[in-house]
Structure 1
Amino acid sequence: MNRELLKHVIFDQHEVIRSATIVPRRYHLDPQGNYVITGLRRSGKSTLLYKVARDLVRGGAAWNQIIYINFEDERLAEFTSADFNDILLAQSELSDREGYFFLDEVQNIEGWEKFARRLTDSGRRAYITGSNAKMLSSQIETTLGGRYLVKHVTPYRFDEYLDALGKSRDEAALYSTSGMGALSSAFDSFYTYGGFPESLRYGAPREYVESVYQKVLLGDVVARNSVRNPQAMRVLVKKVAETVHNEASFSSLHGMLKGIGYGLSKAALIEYLGMIQEAYLLFAVKNATAKFVEREGSPKYYFSDNGLLNLFLVNKEPVLLENEIAVAMHDVYGDALCYLKSAKNGIDIDFYVPERGLAVQVAYSLSKSARSREIGNLVKLAKVDDAVNRLVIVTKEDEGDIDVEDAHIEVVPAWKFILRDLCGQPSA
């Protein structure tokens, strides 16, 4: 690798970092730590590193100590693992002081983890980002040997979205009529178009989200994995979108594709779903295991950002509402978040966190039929599970309290549930 070219890449990136607008995020990075930062493409990983770089300079580091390499720079298209040492040589030519190394979207380079370990073994500070969960595979974690802390970054939560828009979310906003109206209005846009940070700059955020989706699907999934049938994968994502809110077994998804002429084997379908999840487009929520649940059941799939799901929906606000609650709760509880479905007891709970004793139903509105269904399921759960201590129905706008058969149920608008109950908690 031409070291002069590397220097051009580094100093051009310095200009990007200096001019970047940085909205404070909820993530704290230990100043003495080395990090692997993962997450969905365009969720804000690079901007998080920009802040670290600017903080280092503010603390006394010189810009020529900031060795920031964006591996999606087209000038590095021919970069291979054999070229990593040239980064160290370029740094030594730029400064006789220690370098701070930022390797952005490095998952594209095979063998990156060996160089990452060499950096820390030699006492250098390093920050690494990537848009694929394979970066956290057991093999790579073994190579890194515990030398890096892991941070998972998502698109904006609702509180960060409000901060980025400059909208207040203090007590006055939460409780005053005008403030509540403003928050509810902001949530309408948020749960429709999602929380990709850069989408806020666009008058047509849907088009921006579409471009992100195409980049993730065609670049991060299809091209990287040499997918043989990209059209079948496109249709699979669409069919998963149609299952949000419901269980989706491999067999049912396979049948959906077969019914419209896609002869994808079940094994290939399972492999494709794994690739899609590794790129952070989707995550799965499993059925809870409990003494009153007779089977594990098939997972429910949710999209990692509502803007992505909305690309496939028409007039499906209730589905978007449930997906947003899934995203917010999964961000806080991780794999501890379950759903609960038991044919034996007739219980069907949208979201269940056993270790917190929390059960949540999502209903766009508490119409007569929805009211009976959601309340009935929560009451049944309260009767068979002594560990449950909080029952909640999350709605679009309805609010209040319901006491029935010794069960107390809170009814909370989605925006308030997310801000009050989830945004103050650290991510899983």
Structure 2
Amino acid sequence: MNNIIKNCSLNRKIYILTIPINVMVSRELLKEILSEQQKRTEKLQKQNFVQREKLGHLKKFLRIKQSIIITGVRRCGKSVLMLQIIKNFYKNFYYINFEDERLADFKLKDFNRLYEVCIELFGKNKTFFLDEIQNVEGWERWVRRMYEDDFKFFITGSNARLLSKELATLLTGRHLQFTIFPFSFKEFLKFYNFDLNKRDIYLTEKRASIKKYFSKYIVDGGFPECIKNHKIEILQEYFSDIIQKDLVERFKIEDTKKLKELARYVLTNSGKLTTYNRLRGLTEIKSVNTIIKYLSYLEDAYLMFSVPYFSYSLRKQMANPFKIYSIDTGLANAVSFKFSKDVGRAYETVVAIELKRRDKEFYYWKNTLHEEVDFVLKEKLKIKQLIQVCYDIEDYDTKKREIKSLLKAGKELKCRNLLIITDEKEDEEIIKNNKIKYVPLWKWLLSEK
């Protein structure tokens, strides 16, 4: 590569030739790193981490050939889930964490040497656990070649380079992707050693404790380290890291301030309807195309997600506003530096996150009279359930409005499975020959999927 320095006084250009140096990672260094990481892995497996709900789901895919890709927002627990897979299902394996600074110069050509060292230290094996592998450019080519020789891979990575839309081209037909989120409410209770069984929800003292933890969950969210250390600064640092490392550095974004401004607006307005033009008007970003691009980046990094308007017509769907949701209520509160007074929006956000966690396909519904239903759950071509989220359902006008919208949507979409998620109310009502079920949010979160 040639660098140019201009000599102003002589009006001459001086060319400096810089030659890239190929640094090889030595066998001895690899031995040192792998031995240390193996010991650290064994030590971590003895710690009492909360068992992730996704672990049971992953068990079904351990014996198939496809590589397992674990993605999710930064610091939601991807690496810990990998350790739990090792602890529960594997005795013989190779584990490499590429986030080790001593592997900063690790290149594609070093993989063969790495494999040789693995055999030398731990014997022959066919299972690799590769943590933060996105730090190695071209890693997928080596994985693809080894895959053809019947090696099994478990791979995690931060979203700086390992993003869901890219995986299809990196490992076409050779991988299954699983997304994990910050703690669910069930996992949150496990963290506090709350032993939950089905009868607890009927016991007054247990119910009181569950509701106390639920109030905390709404405010703090589900990021494990933040829950453990009770420091909002951790979430603020996560936000900065996602913006800088996962987006700015990856996409070479020059105007960091505008990207951060948009991200902060999205997180602090979780649950609201918006459009690209509206977001352009609310920020200093003048181009709609830039807004579209930045929102795509934020969604790919799992910082937020959008929910479209329900219509069988894709054209109508795209022509209508969409809803935006934060990936975590605690993160949204940390970014806004205060807990939102709009508890209803927080409740709606928690429901949206849980629906994503449960792998549901969902939309929102709205008619020309601006009557709205929060969530339309769809399976294949059938509408399975309509959900309203209402914090204060005891208010007469609010209840009347929510039920009216739910009944209209139910009639239009031919769905009789109607649910209102509330703060306290638990009941069933028959209105105009339609049964409407009321369930408190904390109880819905603890229900079976």
| TM-score of the two chains, using structure 1 as the length reference | 0.88
* Residues 1:193 and 2:220 aligned together: yes
Which residue of structure 2 aligns with residue 105 of structure 1?
132
Shift of 1:187: 0.9
Structure 2 distance, partners of 1:54, 1:3, is 27
- In the TM superposition, what are the counterparts of 1:330-409 in structure 2 within 5 Å? 330-334=356-360, 336-343=361-368, 346-355=370-379, 356-366=383-393, 367-386=395-414, 388-409=415-436
In the alignment, what sits opposite 2:295?
Answer: 273
1-side partners of 2:262 and 2:237: how far apart?
18
2:329 alignment counterpart: 306
Matches within 5 A, 1:13-24: 13-20=37-44, 21=47, 22-24=49-51
Is contact 2:182-2:223 (8 Å) kept? yes
SS of the residue corresponding to residue 354 of structure 1 reads: strand
CA contact (8 A) 1:81 1:111 kept: yes
Q: How does 1:119-130 map to 2 (within 5 A)?
A: 119-130=146-157
Task: Tell me the equivalent position of 1:324.
Answer: 350
| Secondary structure in structure 1 of the residue aligned to 2:358 | helix
1:72-111 equivalent positions in 2, closer than 5 A: 72-111=99-138
Partner of 1:54: 87
- Does the CA contact (< 8 Å) of 1:71 and 1:104 recur in 2? yes
Residue identity matched to 1:339: Y
Report the alpha carbon displacement of residue 41 of structure 1 after superposing the two structures with TM: 1.3
* Map of 2:254 onto structure 1: 228
Alpha-carbon offset, residue 324 of structure 1: 0.4
- Residue 287, structure 1, aligned to residue 309, structure 2: yes
Superposed displacement of residue 322, structure 1: 0.9
Amino acid at match of 1:223: E
1:162 and 1:254 mapped to 2: Cα distance? 40
Aligned-residue offset at 1:132:
2.7
- What is the distance in 2 between the residues matched to 1:94 and 1:56? 21
- Asked if structure 2 preserves the Cα contact closer than 8 Å seen for 1:41 and 1:131, the reply is yes
Shift of 1:3: 2.5
Q: 1:68 touches 1:102 (CA, 8 Å); kept in 2?
A: yes
Would you say 1:32 and 2:63 are equivalent positions?
yes
1:76-118 Cα deviation digits (max 9, x unpaired): 2222323323321221322442253211122232222111112
Residue 233 of structure 1: how far off its partner (Å):
0.8
- The 2-side partners of 1:323 and 1:133 are apart by 25
Q: Does 1:412 align with 2:439?
A: yes
> How many angstroms does 1:122 deviate by?
1.9
Instruction: Give the unaligned 5+ runs of structure 1.
Output: none
- Quick check: 87-96 or 132-141, which moved more? 132-141
Say which SS state the counterpart of residue 167 (structure 1) adopts.
coil
Shift of 1:242: 4.2
Q: 1:382 to 1:190 in 2, by over 3 A?
A: same
Any conservation in 2 of the 1:43–1:156 contact (CA below 8 Å)? yes
Equivalent residue for 2:36, pick from 12, 28, 35: 12
One-letter amino acid of the counterpart of residue 340, structure 1: W
Q: Which amino acid aligns with 1:123?
A: D
Q: Give the CA RMSD over aligned residues.
A: 2.3
Deviates more, 1:297-306 or 1:11-20: 11-20
The 1-side partners of 2:411 and 2:164 are apart by 41
Quote the offset at 1:139 in angstroms.
5.9
Unaligned runs of 5+ in 2: 1-24
DSSP 3-state at the match of 2:99: coil
Are the structure 2 counterparts of residues 190 and 128 from structure 1 closer, same or farther at C-alpha, using a change threshold of 3 Å?
same
Mapped to 2, the partners of 1:224 and 1:2 lie a distance apart of 28
User: Which residue of the partner structure matches residue 207 of structure 2?
Assistant: 180
- Which segment drifts farther, 240-249 or 321-330? 240-249
The one-letter amino acid paired with 1:177 is T
Residue identity matched to 2:438: V
The 3 A distance-change label for structure 1 pair 138 and 416 is closer
Mapped contact 1:360–1:391 kept (Cα < 8 A): yes
Q: What is the one-letter code of the residue matched to 1:46?
A: S
CA distance change for structure 1 residues 263 and 159 in 2, over 3 Å: closer, same or farther?
A: closer
Mapped contact 1:17–1:50 kept (Cα < 8 A): yes
TM-score (norm 2): 0.84
Distance 2:258 2:26 in 1: 41
Q: Is the 8 A contact 1:131 1:280 kept in 2?
A: no
| Counterpart position of 2:245 | 219
CA deviation map 1:16-43 (0-9, x unaligned) = 3222223222222333243111111111
In 2, distance between residues paired with 1:188 and 1:361?
Answer: 20
Secondary structure (helix, strand or coil) at the match of 2:273 reads coil
Structure (1 or 2) with the larger CA radius of gyration: 2
- Amino acid aligned to 1:18: E
Q: Structure 1 residues 270 and 379 mapped into 2: Cα distance closer, same or farther (>3 Å)?
A: same
| Alpha-carbon offset, residue 134 of structure 1 | 6.6
User: What is the identity, as a one-letter code, of the residue corresponding to 1:303?
Assistant: S
C-alpha separation between the residues in 1 aligned to 2:243 and 2:421? 32
Q: Does structure 1 residue 41 correspond to structure 2 residue 67?
A: no
Report percent identity of matched pairs: 30
Q: How many residues align?
A: 407
Query: Is the 8 Å Cα contact of residues 173 and 179 (structure 1) preserved in structure 2?
Result: yes
The answer as to whether partners of 1:310 and 1:320 remain within 8 angstroms in 2 is no
